[in-house]
Amino acid sequence: MRQATNAAVGEDCAVYFSRDFSRLPAVALLKGLAAKPYDLTGPAGLSPERISAYRCGAAGFDLLYACQRLDDSVLAGLQQLADESGAVAQFGMMKKGAVLNRIVGFASEERQVLHTACRDLFSDSPQAGEAAAEARTELAKLREFLGELDSGKIANSKGEVFTDLVHVGIGGSDLGPRALYLALAAFRQKGRRVHFISNVDPDDAAAVLAGLDLSRTLVNVVSKSGSTLETLTNEELVRAAFAKAGLKPKDHFLAVTGKHSPMDNPERYLRSFYMFDYIGGRYSATSMVGAVMLGFALGYDQVLEILRGANEMDQAAEEPDLKKNPALLLALLGIWNHNFLGHQTVAILPYSQALVRFAAHLQQCDMESNGKSVTRQGKDLAWQSGPIIWGEPGTNGQHAFYQLIHQGTVIVPAEFIGFRHSQYQSDLLIKESTSQEKLLANLLAQSLALATGQVNDNPNKRFAGNRPNVILLGERLTPYSMGALLALYEAKVVLQGFIWNINSFDQEGVQLGKKLADRLLGHFAGRRNDPQYSGADRDELGWAMLQAAGLVDK
């Protein structure tokens, strides 16, 4: 156990593990208020005063929540819920190193949760001292490595600089880093490109490798355990391509892995960077999992800006007052819509093409974290946990699925994300408005339309309104603001988990399918080694599935 964790922190945290969400006094209060939620469609339902008052900000973002079906009495009840659950107190304990990745009385990972330590680097007294020190060590290694790349000290066998990097990983080792790279492409260093291979589908790797000069390409392989099947399979495909091109893979391959894992091997990798057990995959984008790739693409200083933005939002998430804490407010609004108003999904709708993969990252961050059905004491949940997360960028989405959001029978709460200024600052005045103004006008219009609806004698042109939504608005999508936005959603997810009293930091749900896949792969291997092989006697169900799929003879 790390020094950052002490007995007092552990004992204080244990108090919250036995709390029953459904028995909290605030829950009964909010159930009563939910019987008649605020009507946004009335004459004064969405007044200028309400729009101005229902605003919360931190780290350069404004959260506008006037288009939610609540009033001051509901906000007071949500504040009570936050206080009774100890959500913010637990967030602070998490940052100090409490062991929160656990299920009391049952075998579990029993780990700290210290992704915030990766960016707790800008004060003399970081909350999780040893973890922050380890983050500094890895950043120093990264800075040295990037400096050697820039100076030409590290080059290919012909003395040429590396222009491309292939990032090989899956899940949290791909989704967050990829989302950040695409979001910040405007800040990419000249002559540097990054490509991603994640799917074990061999066509994914083939398509990426087809257009590359491998002699000027680095490969960054990311796996904490060093044994992730999809990642290791893709790594070997890529190594084979380098060998076929007459190149020594060891001179091109980097590893991001756990210390002492099978991948922590200087005979196979040019450099190794470490990730740690206390950082979960879906929370790892600001660790070396994302930093190595982002450092290559953007440069070291821009990586620091991402960390600064994330750290600023992490600090804001420790504010007990929901009106001053966007992450807490966003978490509680989600709980209000999900647990009390009964809405099952959330649409993440960024009005920024650069955030094209951000919703995909949030699907994992949220649904893998809070898609749980037992409490932290191993008891069956008697209340709803995480919602279904999905989304695409606007305005494209308006021409795809907004019809259902506006007039469908299922109400979908929406979270709009936008920026007052574009990244590239390249725009034209067309029909008396710029493209950025058109983008923002559409964002604001969709929010208003969902909330207020439209009365019409023609039922096909009638909009019911009262479709709850929020707007997250920043100045410009930069490395700093991207770090803040990432940390905002990470904190939202974590705080919701604390309120629901579930473990947001393991992912047992992905393990069963992996085990069954291993059984089926055993059949493939058996058939390959013995033409007369029949695995029916060993695994009747698996053999039947292979037969039904036409993958083995009947």
Phi, psi angle pair for 416, to nearest 5°: -85, 140
For residues 469 and 471, give the distance between their C-alpha atoms in angstroms, rounded to a whole number.
7
Name the E strands within 115-261. 164-168, 193-197, 217-223, 253-258
Beta bridge partners of 430: 433
For residues 438 and 505, give the distance between their C-alpha atoms in angstroms, rounded to a whole number.
40
Using alpha carbons, list the distances in angstroms from residue 144 to 147, 265, 476, 518.
5, 19, 30, 40
With both helix axes pointing from N to C terminus, report the angle between 7-17 and 87-96 in degrees, rounded to the nearest 10. 150
Identify the DSSP state of 188: P
Number of H helices, E strands in the chain: 18, 15
For residues 480 and 304, give the distance between their C-alpha atoms in angstroms, rounded to a whole number.
8
Peptide bond into 395 cis (omega under 30): yes
**Do the strands 469-474 and 61-64 form a parallel or antiparallel pair, or are they unpaired?**
antiparallel
Catalytic residues: 368, 399, 514
How is residue 404 written in tokens? 């259902």
Contact 331/499 with Cβ under 8 angstroms?
yes
Residue with the two structure tokens 């493209």? 435
For residues 107 and 551, give the distance between their C-alpha atoms in angstroms, rounded to a whole number.
37
How is residue 331 written in tokens? 């978490």
**What's 224-250 look like in SS3?**
CCCCCHHHHHHHHHHHHHHHHCCCCHH
For residues 355 and 103, give the distance between their C-alpha atoms in angstroms, rounded to a whole number.
35
How is residue 528 written in tokens? 């390959």
DSSP string covering 29-58? HHHHHHTS---TTSTTTT-HHHHHHSEEEE
Of 313, 399, 319, 278, nearest to 119 (Cα)?
313
For residues 409 and 86, give the distance between their C-alpha atoms in angstroms, rounded to a whole number.
36
Of 319, 306, 290, nearest to 122 (Cα)?
306
Alpha-helix runs per DSSP H in 501-539: 511-529
How is residue 479 written in tokens? 């490395």
**Do the strands 345-350 and 388-390 form a parallel or antiparallel pair, or are they unpaired?**
parallel
**Sheet containing strand 61-64, strands side by side:** 55-58, 61-64, 469-474, 414-419, 345-350, 388-390
Contact 551/531 with Cβ under 8 angstroms?
no
